[in-house]
Every structure is written in C-alpha cells, then in structure tokens.
Amino acid sequence: MNLKQTIDKLYNTNSLDEGEILFLLDNIDDSSLEYIRQKALETRIKYYEDKVFLRGLIEFTNYCKNDCMYCGIRASNKNAQRYRLNKDEILKACSVGYNLGFRTFVLQGGEDPYFDDEKVIDIISSIKEKFPSCAITLSIGEKSFESYKKYFDAGADRYLLRHETASKGLYKTLHPNMSFENRIECLYNLKKIGYQVGAGFMIGLPKQTNEDFVNDLMFLKKLEPHMVGIGPFIPHKDTPLHGEKGGDLKTTLTLLSIIRLLLPKVLLPSTTALGTIHPKGREMGLLHGANVVMPNLSPVEVREKYSLYDGKICTGEEAAECRSCLENRIRSTGFVTDMSRGDHIEWEK
Ligand code: SAH
C-alpha cells in the first residue's frame, strides 16, 4: 500500500494495524497531509456538521503533589506561585461563563490534597444546583474508583485524564513515583462508572519516536474514549526539561487527523498548547479534524500562575474577550460556534 491507499483504508475502516500507522507517520509529506486533512474534515462534518463546541476552563488550583518532569506546576518547582480558588470564586467563574453562554465547565487542577472528596463533591453539587443545564468535566488527576464514583454521583459528567504517553518506559522517565498501570486503570474505571472519558497524549516529548505514537494510537483505539486531548509538549523554564525542543505543528496536525479517522465520533479539542506554538495553531487544528475549543474562564489574577509551559497564550484577557476572540477564529475557518453542552453524539443519559 502507498500513502494514499493507507489513508483510504483508515478513512474507510477507521482502523489500521501498527505497521500501517508507522508507515503513515514515517512517510507523511505535504500532499498526503493535505489528503488526510480533507478526509478528517469530511468525517467530522459527517458527524458534527460545522459545529465547534466551546468549553469553559476553570483552573482552580496549581498546587500539585506530583512531580511530572515536563510540567510547570510540578511539586518541586519552588518558583511557582501557588493559588487555590475557593468554592465562591469557582461559582463566580461559572456564573461569568454561564452569562457568556457556556454550558460546559471544565474544572482542572494539579493533584491538590487540600481538595479532598468532601470539598470536590460540595463544589460539584453547588455548580449543579445553580446551573442544572450545564455539564461538569473534571480534570484533577488520579483518584480511587470510589472517589470517581462519588464525584459522578454528585453530578460530574465527564473526566479528562490524559494518559500522557502509552509507552511504559517513556512514561516512567517522565513521572517519578507514579505508576503507568494505575493511570491506565483510572481511565478504565472512569469508563466503567459511566463518565464521558477523555484520554490523550503530548507530542514531542524527549526521546519520543513514531513508535511511541503508534502505541498511543493503538491504546486510544482500544480504550475508545469519548474525548481525546493532544497537544505539543512545550518546555517550561523551571523544569528539568527546560532545554528540550518540544513538539511541532506538523506532527500535531497529522496526529489530529489520524485520531479523527480512527475514532470518527470523538470530541477532539484544538488545544491552547497548539495555539501557543503557532499563532494560527488552533484554526489549523480545527481544519485537521478537531471540533472543540476550551477558552479560559479562570479569573485573570490567577491565569499567569497556572503555568504548565512557557509562553501560554490568553493569560491576560477577560473571559468575554477570550470567548469573542475564539468565536472570530472559529468563524475564520468556516465553522460555527455551538454553545450547547456538546455531548458525544452517542451519549445517552
Ligand atoms: N492534574 C491533572 C491535570 C494536568 S494538567 C491530571 O493529572 O490530569 C493538563 C495537561 O497539561 C496534562 O495532562 C499534560 O498533558 C499537559 N501539560 C502539562 N505540562 C505540559 C507542557 N510542558 N507542555 C504541554 N502540555 C503540558
């Protein structure tokens, strides 16, 4: 099979074997990237028309007990200025978001032991009480099955937990004192409980190869998550990986298109990290198969402090400015902004 035939097979069957994915990644050139992009675009339009879903991201704590080598809010970074939002501040951010039309709130944070189950549950139920029409997505790391279940019962709808890399060896070098098996088990537990689940990985990690991406894609195909978050790794100055190169645009766009074809109905964000490595990165992401963007609803005073990587965009703008800026960007690609909850199309409550 040549490149075009491999892409046709992926488009027609939504699957490829490991050797075929590797062949595609090793040989993709500008014209085959354009070809797979068109197939990815056609596929997302078939299932989600020209809609782009917006999620309001609330970064509510940058305390973290973990020490991920790539992350700016890792526990050992003594230069990070730590903050936590309290329940009222979180509700305020939701209220600002609600008035701007948002119907999904993504609560993201480091793994902060201060927010024990009782506090998390209280936050979830308070948001649900005030905004019953809204979906809540949690992105707060690895917890026990019981904790995940309690959050779900309190009203959480979705959970984002990127697997980061599906290559165990690489995972171990990046995550001191964490277990690859546990992270994968968390994802299966979340699915079992009934969440809409998001996995995903970073692109351009030190020593990462196309074989590693094959592992990521095969893992995603097996897990069948409802959402997939991928983005370039971007070095942060206060981490051990500060001198590394980071991920590039072309590889990220190629992987977005492949994921759209492997999991045709998936909710696939065009991420802030992609917008950080290229001024039109998010627009290009949408044109390569992505169908979600996640503007920031965190209070402006804390934005700079949630610094996972250097150069993060949109840290100075109010929520309303972010929303209208993104709406313009979405329109410039020919898509339309959709402010509904934006559940996965096979989702039934
Ligand atoms: N504590 C939560 C949220 C982590 S932050 C959890 O464990 O899931 C959200 C995501 O940001 C991470 O999953 C990681 O993929 C990404 N991230 C962290 N540092 C990054 C960096 N330097 N460059 C790009 N993405 C990064």
Report the SS3 class of residue 240.
coil
18-337 under CATH 3.20.20.70, yes or no = yes
Atom of ligand 1 nearest to the CA of 202: 15
Q: How far is CA 252 from CA 106, 271, 307, 317, in A?
A: 23, 10, 21, 26
Decide: 193 and 148 in contact? Cβ < 8 Å: yes
For residue 211 the two structure tokens come to 């074989």
d(CA 11, CA 82): 46
- The CA-CA-CA angle for residues 296, 301, 302, to 5°, reads 60
Local confidence pLDDT in tens for the 349 residues of the chain: 999 999 999 999 999 999 999 999 999 999 999 999 999 999 999 999 999 999 999 999 999 999 999 999 999 999 999 999 999 999 999 999 999 999 999 999 999 999 999 999 999 999 999 999 999 999 999 999 999 999 999 999 999 999 999 999 999 999 999 999 999 999 999 999 999 999 999 999 999 999 999 999 999 999 999 999 999 999 999 999 999 999 999 999 999 999 999 999 999 999 999 999 999 999 999 999 999 999 999 999 999 999 999 999 999 989 888 899 999 999 999 999 999 999 999 987 6
**Cβ 315 vs Cβ 276: under 8 Å:** no
Nearest alpha carbon, ligand 1 atom 25: 233
Give residues (CB < 6 A) around ligand 1: 70-71, 108, 110-111, 139-141, 161-162, 164, 202, 231, 233-234, 236, 273, 308-309
Residue 303 to residue 58: CA distance in whole angstroms: 10
The residue extents of the domains of the chain are 18-337
| Model confidence, pTM | 0.98
Joined tokens for residue 286: 């949408």
The rounded distance, in Å, linking the Cα atoms of 143 and 262 is: 28
